Amino acid sequence: MGKRLLNLTLALIALGLAPGYSWAASEVMLKYRGFSRTVPMADLASLAATGETSQSLGALLRQAGQDPASLRSLLTQPLAADPILLDKALNSWPGEWLLDQLGTAVHPVAPEASRQALRSALVLSASSDRQITLQEVLETYPTSTVVLEGDLIESAYRQLAQFLQTLDRLLPLRF
């Protein structure tokens, strides 16, 4: 299994989809209740790490009546996931259905290849530590800008958690 993970990682690096490569998202377009603002990924990383918002992010959250602590919690909540099992599951019919559901909350600016982009971001997020966080998904998203639909993300993240729990019950993770 270690060799398969290595091959998957090497393939993603070759495609330029690994974290730290030029295709990783550098900014996030946050949308809440009709308000939207594009903020640097660094602003969300700072919120996740310190709980502090930048002026731009804070203004958007205030306009939308959102609590920064709720967004911080969502960004940092880890979900256990085996990257190889996740990749296989997301390439199945139920996995593609889930990607379509999640894609309403996290998607590229242009709708092309939304499913593939989200799949790669989820697998990359799980590849380093066998966990997914929304922050890692956004950071590894393979477009320069990723759209986060703030009004939908909590529900989408719950759907992802339920999917991963079902996978774990059916095929328990092997550490």
pLDDT tens digits along 69-101: 999 999 999 999 999 999 999 999 999 999 999
Q: Which pLDDT score is estimated for 130?
A: 95
pTM of the model: 0.83
Q: Rounded to the nearest 5°, which phi and psi values hold at 29?
A: -90, 110
Domain ranges of the chain: 24-170
Cα-based distances in Å from 134 to 73, 125, 131, 159, 170: 10, 9, 10, 13, 24
Mean pLDDT by 10 residues, the chain (175 residues): 49 46 78 92 96 94 94 96 94 95 94 89 95 96 94 95 89 58
CB 125 within 8 A of CB 140: yes
